[in-house]
Amino acid sequence: MGRFFSAEHDDIQKGLTTDVYFQRTEAILKAKGLLDVHTRSEVTVADLPDAWPWAVLCGTEEVVRILEGREVDLYALPEGSLFTPRTRRGVKLPVASIDGPYGQYCSLETPALGFICYASGVATMAARCKLAAGSLPVISFGVRRMHPAMAPVIDRSSFIGGCDGVSSLKGAELVGKAASGTMPHSLVIMMGDQREAFKAFGEIIDPTVPRVALTDTFFDEKAEALMAAEAMPGLRSVRLDTPGSRRGNMADIVREVRWELDLRGYTNVGVFVSGGLDEVKIKELAAAGASGFGVGTSISNAPTIDFAMDIVEKAGKPIAKRGKFAGRKYVFKCPDCLEYEVSLRRDDPPKCSCGEEMRWAEVKVIEKGKRLVPEEPAEEIRRRVLRQMGRAAL
Ligand SMILES: [Zn+2]
């Protein structure tokens, strides 16, 4: 059997997915005896995509894993922190920083950034979709649009950002939940008839799996929704995945199906919508009476967050390239409104604009290669995200 193109975990750990210029840098620094010079590097982002005011930090757990065992200290905001790219004074906010001999992590910059740039983009888009959906569930359906090796990464990041469920088996295992899904059009086609497909699902699939009937395969959504309500005992919801060529006004289709179900007493049957959804459409459909959303490409192909890693201190002295702020910074956060500021001293917490005293927000995760804090379950990180979204005046 041929191998897939994705990198082996070992290759990533050894730095083989890194950009070649780091390998060359290592060779030069080694020859000149500079590999062990102590440095401090920070991870920052100048601006967020699409003028997002805030983002969700995600993927730091994998950064911890790649740095574990290297002679470095790692400080980071907790995974699932909502953050702004800059503090209120306009200083780029370090979301993580590494302290140690440069040779210990030079070749890991590329994979370390890759872990958080993509995952944070996905988590942020999931959070935005969740905000748009209000109290309604959002399920991550986007793994099919990315390389399968990424499925657990996509699902974990979506879940942490606020998705209520994920569709892939490996993704669900990683976040400790049962996978979420309904039925594909192929089942209806293979069964030859919608009613047969609905009945067969009811007969064969474990009763703990919510009954959700896909009601747009052959006929009108309204007609198939009523067929499902009659053919499927315990029907939780119908799913509308109407193709683009038939959509017209999707909110109106939702309203009409909702009306017909209510008219016939199926008020407990929800209308779950999937297919080409994004945060704007979710809002419209929620207002039209949809009961839940399956969101694919807009989450799994979310804009990536362009984090960069830069040296800010060398041999104990502040130094930085043009455009970066040199020196060790301590990151503080307001416990109430989640505003950030940096201070040059750990014992000098800034005051928030709300009057509250800010708290030191970084966690020392690794000391001299040794992990200091245990891995957090995805569910706990997700709760942190939802809590902040409820409070943030960001
Ligand atoms: Zn405040």
Confidence at residue 394, expressed as pLDDT on a 0 to 100 scale:
47
49 near 121, Cβ under 8 Å? yes
Note the pLDDT tens digit of each residue in 155-192.
999 999 999 999 999 999 999 999 999 999 999 999 99
CA–CA–CA angle 47, 41, 376 (5° rounding): 80
Q: What is the spatial order of strands in the sheet that 359-360 belongs to?
A: 340-343, 330-333, 359-360
Dist. CA 354 → ligand 1 center (Å)? 4
Dist. CA 310 → ligand 1 center (Å)? 29
Number of Cβ within a 10 Å radius of residue 148 = 13
Tokens at 350, concatenated: 């800034």
Cα dihedral angle (59, 161, 247, 269), rounded to 10 degrees? 130
Number of Cβ within a 10 Å radius of residue 27 = 11
Average pLDDT over residues 99-119: 98
Residue 372 has pLDDT above 90, yes or no: yes
CATH class of domain segment(s) 19-120+303-391: alpha beta
**Residue spans in the chain of domains classed CATH 3.20.20.70:** 181-295
* CATH of the domain spanning 181-295: 3.20.20.70
Dist. CA 52 → ligand 1 center (Å)? 20
Confidence at residue 392, expressed as pLDDT on a 0 to 100 scale:
61
In the three-class reduction of DSSP (H, G, I as helix; E, B as strand; rest coil), residue 49 is classed as: helix
Amino acid occupying residue 73? D
Dist. CA 343 → ligand 1 center (Å)? 16
Tokens at 139, concatenated: 């399920």
Tokens at 204, concatenated: 């064969």
Which residues of 201-266 form beta strands (DSSP E)? 211-214, 235-240
Amino acid occupying residue 379? E
Confidence at residue 391, expressed as pLDDT on a 0 to 100 scale:
75
Dist. CA 256 → ligand 1 center (Å)? 45
The total number of residues written for the chain in this structure = 394
Dist. CA 371 → ligand 1 center (Å)? 31
Dist. CA 358 → ligand 1 center (Å)? 7
**Residue spans in the chain of domains classed CATH 3.20.140.10:** 19-120+303-391
Dist. CA 83 → ligand 1 center (Å)? 14
Dist. CA 318 → ligand 1 center (Å)? 29
CA–CA–CA angle 142, 146, 151 (5° rounding): 70
Q: Between the CA of residue 348 and those of 85, 253, 311, 358, what are the distances in Å? A: 22, 57, 23, 10
Dist. CA 329 → ligand 1 center (Å)? 19
Dist. CA 393 → ligand 1 center (Å)? 9
Dist. CA 338 → ligand 1 center (Å)? 6
Residue 338 has pLDDT above 90, yes or no: no
Average pLDDT over residues 310-323: 97
Partners of 97 in the beta sheet? 42, 75
Give ion ligand 1 contacts, CB < 5 A.
334, 336-337, 339, 352, 354, 356
Tokens at 220, concatenated: 């009108």
Q: Around 244, how many Cα atoms within 13 Å sit in the side-chain half-sphere?
A: 2
